[in-house]
Structure 1
């Protein structure tokens, strides 16, 4: 899994877990909603500043958006 795919999956997962729409997260992070959609679809790559703004909007650490998700077998692969 590429880092862009990991980021996109984590962004969507954390956003949905927080119960936020793309529009609400966009407002909190001061980013255009269509950009968040594009990030979640791997159309664009986020700069480190954007990763930080999104993490703050989600109330998580920026590193959480870059962690490889654990697999269902618990191995992290």
Structure 2
């Protein structure tokens, strides 16, 4: 699994742990829901800024989104 796919899997996992929808995560991270969906599916490369905003919205450290389970 490459890092983009790993990031997407981790975003989905932590979003669901928080009980958030993609819409809620997108709103909290100030981005489009379709962008969150693309990130979760591993079809978009996240920017460093996006990584930080998603981590903040999920209330976790950014590095957690890049770790293997």
Question: Do they fold alike, i.e. is TM over 0.5?
Answer: yes
Partner of 1:30: 30
Taking structure 2 as the reference length, what is the TM-score of the superposition? 0.97
Aligned residues: 69
Counterpart in the other structure of 1:75: none
Runs (4 or more) in structure 1 with deviation over 4 Å come to: none
Aligned to 2:8: 8
Query: Which one has a larger percent helix, Structure 1 or Structure 2?
Result: 2
Query: Cα offset for 1:68?
Result: 1.0
State how far apart, in whole Å, the 2-side matches of 1:10 and 1:42 are.
11
What RMSD, in angstroms, separates the aligned Cα atoms of the two structures?
0.5
What is the TM-score with the length of structure 1 in the denominator?
A: 0.87
Gaps of 5+ in 1: 70-77
Report the Cα distance in structure 2 between the residues aligned to 1:22 and 1:59, rounded to whole angstroms. 15
In the alignment, structure 2 segments of 5+ residues that lack a partner are none
Larger Rg: 1
